[in-house]
Structure 1
Amino acid sequence: MFRLRKRVFRIFLISLLGCTPDKPANPAKPGPKTVQIEAETGILSGVEVTKSTAGFSGTGYVTGFDDATDKLTLTFEATAGLYELAIGYASPSGDKGVDFQVNDEKASGTLKQNTGFGLAKTGIFQLQPGQNTITIFRGWGYFSIDYLQLTPTTVALPAKPPKTLADPQATASTRALFAYLVDQYGSKVLSGQQDEVEYILEKTGKEPAIGAFDLIDYSPSRVQNGATPQRSSEACIAWARKGEGRGIVSLLWHWNAPTDLIDQAPDKLWWSGFYTKATTFDLATALADRNSERYQLLLRDIDTIAGELKKFQAVDIPVLWRPLHEASGGWFWWGAKGAGPFKELWKLLYDRLTNHHQLHNLIWVYTGTDSINPDWYPGDACVDVVGLDSYADPTATLSGNWANAQALFNGKKLVTLSETGNLPHPDKVRAFGSWWSWFSVWTGADYIKKQPVDQLKAVYTDKDVITRDELPNWRLSNPSGAKMATER
């Protein structure tokens, strides 16, 4: 009787609470799950399903990405959230670039050469609730797609590198600037602009924190042909020193080949002499014989540029020094003979400027293309910052580019967007955790002047983008991490 009363009371209590004894009152909603989509289930345009190579997933794979219009479209259901996209693929004939689109966002990645099938991580993307679409385009072509895998993920802040420069004799101001950059890394992005700093001021009422300029016209083979700098070193110094003198300078050098310029119309004239196509200068041959005329011309050119850099050191202006950029692309002569000669030239340049010329105001920025190929990296002993030069679609988040760089350099080097064809989107920087140390938009009508003015203003007034007027006296930053006496 007592047991019966207990049972009746329990049933009464359950009915009163409106639940059953075997189910929780508020069941948890299922979270995002890994999604795998077989390529052969998609809509094919100019491509085909085959089974000729063993080791594929599902019932086949898609190949035939040969023509510009070839593509594969995959539609699938997913729970809203951030996902890491990986592509199952085969690329037996070398590394291949792949272009793709996730819903409205365009992106690209690299499929490394492999035998059989492999998996390439291409970045983090925001999926919407319900139906989503991913389209694979030809890119470089001559690869096969097996499947797509989307894994739920979260983003993490980048680990800060040590506040230590490659040059142990770096000046106090140079060390302080680097310490300031490290302090901001992961929470703020410094604004930068190639050449057209005045345009930014005109359109936004603000100036970039970093003015990026080019020593191109100081190359002796350009001077010999009558070139004069559009913005002299003295003008760059004046920009940095005006007001409270807190402007940060970045310099690159489109190094016109020392000699052997083709100088023929239409696209090989002397002023294009930094391009591989416009010169027959052979870097590997020049480096092989230190007594040769061409090796001595390399030194002559380096010594000339050292003279310009000394002007900055003389007035205590550190320089974000970005020479020999985009070498792995092969389109500049310093990358035309492969990674070995390039790295030898980088180390020669570092030694000549740092030790021979005693230039200690340089923060050395190694720049890849839209990714970093570790085979081309000169080494930690002569690099302070790693940069990407990316001219991606305006919709791209660059999450894959960021992730690939972090896989190599997280906690070791600052990673920056050293050149970009489009303004970064601060909301996407926050959402995807891609906290570039700084960005610098390229100059001209096709780049900075093509950006919508309202977007330009939005970026330059964003709470996480540092402009020149927001720079502190970064010379007080302490490389040790402790406050300096003048700050207390």
Structure 2
Amino acid sequence: MRPKIFTRKTAVVLAALPLAAVAWLATTPSQASATGASTPAAVISYLQQISGNHVVSGVHNKEPLSNPSQYTIQAHALTGKWPGLWGGELGFTAADVANRQTMINQAKTEWANGSLVSLTWHMCRPDVATCEFNGGINGAKLSDAEWSQLTTSGATLNNQYKAKLDGAVPYLQQLKDAGIPVLFRPQHEMNEGWAWWGGRPGVNGSAKLFQITHDYLVSKGLANLVWVWNVKDVDGGAASVSSYYPGDSYVDVASLDPWVHNWPSNEWYQAILNVAHGKPISLAEVGTVPTPSQLASQPQWAWFMIWSEYLTSANSTAGLQATFNSSRVLSQGQFTIPTSTPPTTPPGGAHTGAITGVGGKCVDVAAASSANGTAVQLYDCNGSSAQSWTVGTDGTIRALGKCLDVTGQGTANGTKLQLWDCNGSGAQQWSAESDGHLQNPQSGRYLDVPGGSTANATRLQIYDRNTNAWQTWHLPA
């Protein structure tokens, strides 16, 4: 008989806190839970703010997917605390793929209880529907010719790979619809060759597949994924980490699995910090739980996730309790992820009018042109059709029959805005926050005026969230 999904109610539920309150939480944990919708940007911001002071506890729940919280339950039995991060698996055997819905239901429960949600995917070779771990994932190396085909758009293996991604989209979409950001870790430990996706350095190697994965899932509208890039602490490998890094626009969190040495050497710690370029870093898999003193010695790790059966096989109860009871470690009920409004649905339907910003100026379509690629800029308000925007019930913002669009599906700071045919992509989704910020969830960045300039024809861009006046916007009432 398939086990029932484990559920529980959080003892104390608090309303969503504004981002300003997160800094307070980083030093004074309080009972709370993440019951509302959130965004990748809110999760990333929170992880950045606790880094250096606190770390979120986590436990992975590997197969079978029919019992998707068995190790989380064990952790509670041993420590008296529910881990602050729940790790799940998308599965590779036929039985587990058939139980993905069970796993997704559990992910929703864990989020509602106040835990972050992380998903790992041990994916079979792209030319195999389902598989066993040995032979289908481990030891299933592709030839150089097959790898070239995999990374070439339109080639057979490339199409098979995207079809395999398609199999996960409906499940990830459910989490998006529920407002749940997912710490998504594809092609983990890519700097080692045990899996078919790993061990290929360079621009056309393992990092290229990560980029393909990112771009394809983003094109499917999955703007709720926090992209976690991952390597393993292989001997002598710290110096080569950058040759596996897909680039800042593809990575939200840089992570390490310290299986070789159990705890990262200073060389590895610094290597991950260096490649992360200021992004959060994490211990995505550990066997032995880090001690409080270890965590204090490398304070930037934002979370650790104990790997399933290692919870008991590699740890003592006393060791687990010492870490989970540390003032540095945040478990469920001791932190709140800031929540935000999902794609805007104005009361009573769509609203049309001017969008005003810094200096009282209006968001404007250059020369009132409806041509694709026309710049969207700041300009004196004049009541023209070029400044009449409809904030739709579908998350779009439209003028002149076209959509406000992030150029080239870009996610990097400074990417310019334009007018473009409405196409349902994440580049055209916008979410209004209560303090006037306007977020593009796909990028996790915000509508911004470069340098706060109030000069006419200043072209608008997306940029990291900040408290400057030039990220405050007033939508049509």
Smaller-chain TM-score bracket: 0.5 to 0.7
Change (3 A) 1:233 1:359: same
Q: Please report how far the alpha carbon of residue 450 of structure 1 lies from its aligned counterpart in structure 2 after TM superposition.
A: 2.7
Within the candidate set 63, 86, 96, 1:211 is matched to 86
Distance 1:448 1:252 in 2: 21
Within the candidate set 363, 375, 378, 2:243 is matched to 375
Say which SS state the counterpart of residue 335 (structure 1) adopts. coil
User: 2:245·2:275 contact (CA, 8 Å) conserved in 1?
Assistant: no
Q: Residue 438 in 1 paired to residue 300 in 2?
A: no
Aligned to 1:347: 211
User: 2:100·2:171 contact (CA, 8 Å) conserved in 1?
Assistant: no
Q: Residue 312 in 1 paired to residue 175 in 2?
A: yes
Q: Residue 325 in 1 paired to residue 192 in 2?
A: no
Distance 2:200 2:47 in 1: 34
Q: Residue 240 in 1 paired to residue 111 in 2?
A: yes
Aligned to 1:178: 44
User: Residue type of the partner of 1:401?
Assistant: W
User: Residue type of the partner of 2:77?
Assistant: E
Distance 2:292 2:264 in 1: 10
Distance 2:254 2:146 in 1: 23
User: 2:191·2:200 contact (CA, 8 Å) conserved in 1?
Assistant: no
Say which SS state the counterpart of residue 403 (structure 1) adopts. helix
User: 1:387·1:418 contact (CA, 8 Å) conserved in 2?
Assistant: yes
User: Residue type of the partner of 1:384?
Assistant: D
Q: Please report how far the alpha carbon of residue 338 of structure 1 lies from its aligned counterpart in structure 2 after TM superposition.
A: 4.6
Distance 1:338 1:397 in 2: 21
The structure carrying a bigger strand percent of its residues is 1
Distance 1:426 1:329 in 2: 29
Say which SS state the counterpart of residue 308 (structure 2) adopts. coil
Aligned to 2:289: 423
Q: Residue 480 in 1 paired to residue 345 in 2?
A: no
Distance 1:206 1:334 in 2: 36
The correspondence of residues 246-265 of structure 1 with structure 2, limited to 5 A, is 246-259=114-127
Distance 2:287 2:91 in 1: 20
User: Residue type of the partner of 1:253?
Assistant: W
Distance 2:251 2:339 in 1: 21
Aligned to 2:75: 200
Say which SS state the counterpart of residue 39 (structure 2) adopts. helix
How many residue pairs get matched? 298
Change (3 A) 1:270 1:427: closer
Aligned to 2:29: none
Q: Please report how far the alpha carbon of residue 353 of structure 1 lies from its aligned counterpart in structure 2 after TM superposition.
A: 0.7
Say which SS state the counterpart of residue 284 (structure 1) adopts. helix
Distance 2:56 2:286 in 1: 14
User: 1:283·1:334 contact (CA, 8 Å) conserved in 2?
Assistant: no
Gaps of 5+ in 1: 1-170, 264-268
Q: Residue 384 in 1 paired to residue 252 in 2?
A: yes
User: Residue type of the partner of 1:201?
Assistant: H
Aligned to 1:407: 274
User: 1:422·1:448 contact (CA, 8 Å) conserved in 2?
Assistant: no
Aligned to 2:333: 469
Q: Please report how far the alpha carbon of residue 326 of structure 1 lies from its aligned counterpart in structure 2 after TM superposition.
A: 0.8
Distance 2:101 2:266 in 1: 35
Distance 2:199 2:44 in 1: 32
Change (3 A) 1:422 1:357: same
User: 1:399·1:434 contact (CA, 8 Å) conserved in 2?
Assistant: no
Say which SS state the counterpart of residue 474 (structure 1) adopts. coil
Distance 1:288 1:236 in 2: 31
Distance 2:325 2:224 in 1: 30
The correspondence of residues 291-310 of structure 1 with structure 2, limited to 5 A, is 291-310=154-173
Change (3 A) 1:202 1:381: same
Within the candidate set 134, 148, 151, 1:272 is matched to 134
User: 1:327·1:342 contact (CA, 8 Å) conserved in 2?
Assistant: yes
The correspondence of residues 10-409 of structure 1 with structure 2, limited to 5 A, is 173-195=39-61, 196-217=71-92, 222-223=93-94, 228-229=99-100, 232-242=103-113, 246-259=114-127, 270-278=132-140, 283-287=146-150, 289-339=152-202, 340-354=204-218, 356-370=219-233, 371=238, 373-393=241-261, 396=263, 398-409=265-276
Superposition TM-score, scaled by structure 2 size: 0.57
Gaps of 5+ in 2: 1-36, 62-70, 341-432, 436-463, 473-477
Aligned to 1:90: none
The percent of aligned pairs where both chains have the same amino acid is 23
Aligned to 1:455: 319
User: 2:284·2:303 contact (CA, 8 Å) conserved in 1?
Assistant: yes
Change (3 A) 1:184 1:462: same
User: Residue type of the partner of 1:459?
Assistant: T
Distance 1:323 1:288 in 2: 16
Distance 1:224 1:286 in 2: 29
Change (3 A) 1:226 1:428: closer
User: Residue type of the partner of 1:192?
Assistant: G
Post-superposition Cα deviations, 1:336-381, rounded to whole Å, max 9, x if no partner, equal: 5554232222111111111x21111111110011146111100001
Distance 1:225 1:315 in 2: 23
User: Residue type of the partner of 1:197?
Assistant: T
Distance 1:202 1:460 in 2: 12
Q: Please report how far the alpha carbon of residue 448 of structure 1 lies from its aligned counterpart in structure 2 after TM superposition.
A: 4.4
Distance 1:317 1:260 in 2: 30
Superposition TM-score, scaled by structure 1 size: 0.55
Say which SS state the counterpart of residue 299 (structure 1) adopts. helix
